[in-house]
Homo-oligomer: A and B are copies of this chain.
Amino acid sequence: MKAEELADILAEHSLFADCDEAELADLILRGHFVRYNKGDELIMQGDPGNSLLILLSGIARTSMIASNGHEIVLDYAESGQVLGEIALLDGGERTATVTAIEPTSALSITREAFEDILEKHKNMALRLLKVMAKRIRMANSMIEGDRAYTSGPRLARYLLRLSVVGAEEGRLKLDLSQSELGNFAGMSREHINRQLSAWSESQIVAVESGKVRILDHAMLSHIAEADS
């Protein structure tokens, strides 16, 4: 892989967009290119965390299994995203499992390589700090959503989170099944179904062949902030 290719991928979404050539070169040199098939686990909850991944292509689901067996989906990561930094940094176990939901490739960076790169390129640390700041914001916003809102506004928030900005026709980034949406938004499949049906009635979303499309973005945003 060439530095330019990596640069292109990183430039698109991630906070690594402003890496200079030397940094990219080192990432490629010290990193290890890995491919995964749909369903493969890039990271497994409970494992020791001795490496970090930078997603290059594909989409991966980050999820945790609570001690009572309940599965929680934390995020869907796209290319450019960093995965697995937490355990690498604090030396603890991996808190979540990351599963490829389509063919996926990534750059894997070991702890030693990571430390070397951090040492050599001071900007990398700052970049990582920003990545993590963003992640904390996201986590706090999930907590806020879970705590403060009932299911309706919460689902609205997750739909908005899945919606693309320049959305042609309100398409979502990901076509999740209703069960998957339920896991993500923290509600039962049946309840998701009923809520989507209701919104479909009032022309806020359209549900066609299993795929959700946002028709009234403004209304959905409004619902996302409502009291109930």
Contact with B along A137-165 (1 / 0, CB 8 A): 10111111011110001000000000000
- Beyond A96-B140, A143-B143, whether A225 also contacts B67 by CB under 8 A is yes
A122 contacts chain B at the CB level, 8 A cutoff: yes
How far apart sit A92 and B90, CA to CA, in the bound complex (Å)?
25
Max chain B C-beta neighbours (<10 A), residue from A64, A140, A141, A149: A140
B137 touches A140 (CB 8 A): no
| Contacting residues of chain A (102-131) with chain B, CB-CB under 8 angstroms | 118-119, 122, 125-126, 128-130
How far apart sit A70 and B148, CA to CA, in the bound complex (Å)?
6
Provide the residues of chain B in CB contact with A146, threshold 8 Å.
Answer: 143, 146-147, 186
Interface residues on A, range: 35 or more
- Beyond A144-B66, A146-B146, A146-B147, whether A136 also contacts B72 by CB under 8 A is no
How far apart sit A149 and B186, CA to CA, in the bound complex (Å)?
12
Report the minimal beta-carbon distance from A149 to chain B, rounded to whole angstroms.
7
Provide the residues of chain B in CB contact with A209, threshold 8 Å.
Answer: none
Provide the residues of chain B in CB contact with A79, threshold 8 Å.
Answer: none
A66 touches B140 (CB 8 A): no
A137 touches B74 (CB 8 A): no
Query: A186's contact among B89, B96, B147, by CB below 8 Å, is which?
Result: B147
Report the minimal beta-carbon distance from A82 to chain B, rounded to whole angstroms.
12
4 closest A-B pairs (Cβ-Cβ)?
A66-B148, A70-B148, A139-B139, A125-B125
